[in-house]
Amino acid sequence: TRVAKNNDRVLIFFAGHGKTMDLPGGGEMGFLLPVDGNSDDLYLSSIGMSELKNLSLMSNAKHVLYLIDACYGGLAAVGSRGLDANVTKNYIEKITKNKSRQIITAGGRGERVIERSEWGHSAFTLNLNRGLKNGTADINSDGYITGNELGMYLNEKVTIDSDNKQTPQYGRMTSEEGEFVFNTPTSN
């Protein structure tokens, strides 16, 4: 947050445990548990999803993407209509001009992260690596992987690999319409 400059892109990857707390007045609040977190005292010993949003808003970075390999509810995302890559002239130029605050999580409330020894990772990290290293998350084959494309890719592949036990969630943390963008291996 303190060192990012106006044109920087910040990617934050967290792998661990997540938990959701029901709120007395209704609704829920999601938390990420650090190694020394206490699931009986979430508010004081873990990282609230609302705090991730606050940290991203305090950053000067142009683009921020959270990749959260933990399951929980309380996704801190808002609905926002983005530009259509198929009809927008200079699509990549336009979506990288605006700020973005995006998040992709490994699953939803009540879902457990699926891991298999043959993968060496969770289904989320396995497919994250595949999608970025091989460029297979480039759904429209334009040489770029947007945060939204990565979210759609992970949603499909992780759901399949986990036998429908885990479905990644993705979205924007603000109404800003920019996108975090990766070059595909073939576009470098």
C-alpha dihedral over 81, 86, 87, 91, to 10 degrees?
70
**pLDDT tens digit at each of 188 positions of the chain:** 789 999 999 999 999 888 888 889 988 888 888 888 888 898 899 998 888 889 999 999 999 999 999 876 545 554 444 545 555 557 778 888 999 999 999 987 777 788 888 888 899 999 999 999 999 999 999 999 999 999 999 999 999 999 999 999 898 988 888 999 999 877 65
DSSP string spanning 97-142?
A: HS-EEEEEEEE-TTPPPPEETTTTEEHHHHHHHHHHHS-TT-TT-S
> How many Cβ atoms from other residues are within 10 Å of residue 93's Cβ?
9
Joined together, the tokens standing for residue 109 give 């409330």
- The residues that bridge with 181 in the sheet, in sequence order, are 146
